[in-house]
Structure 1
Amino acid sequence: MVRDMDNSPEQAELMRLMEQEKEQLMVKEMVSKLTSVCWDKCITSTPGSKFSPGETTCLSNCALRFLDMSMILAKRFQMQ
Structure 2
Amino acid sequence: PIMLPDVTDASDGVAADPQLQHFIEIESQKQRFQQLVHQMTEVCWEKCMDKPGPKLDSKTEACFVNCVERFIDTSQFILNRLEQTQRGRGSFSETMSD
Q: TM-score, normalised by structure 2?
A: 0.69
Q: Which has the higher contact order (CA 8 A, sep 6+)?
A: 1
Equivalent in 11, 24, 27 of residue 30 of structure 2: 24
Q: TM-score, normalised by structure 1?
A: 0.83
CA distance in 2 between counterparts of 1:36 and 1:4 reads: 39
Residue 75 of structure 1: aligned partner:
80
Residue 59 of structure 1: aligned partner:
64
**Where does the alignment leave 5 or more consecutive residues of structure 1 unmatched?**
none
CA distance in 2 between counterparts of 1:51 and 1:72 reads: 29
- What RMSD in Å do the two structures reach over aligned CA positions? 1.8
Q: Secondary structure at the match of 1:51?
A: coil
CA distance in 2 between counterparts of 1:5 and 1:26 reads: 25
Mark the structure with the bigger radius of gyration: 2
Residue 21 of structure 2: aligned partner:
15
**Where does the alignment leave 5 or more consecutive residues of structure 2 unmatched?**
1-5, 10-15, 87-98
Greater helix share, structure number: 1
Q: Please give the per-residue CA displacement for 1:8-52, whole angstroms capped at 9, x wherever unaligned.
A: xx711111111101100110000000000000000012x211111
Quote the sequence identity (%): 31
Give the ranges of 4+ consecutive aligned residues of structure 1 lying more than 4 Å apart after TM superposition: 3-6
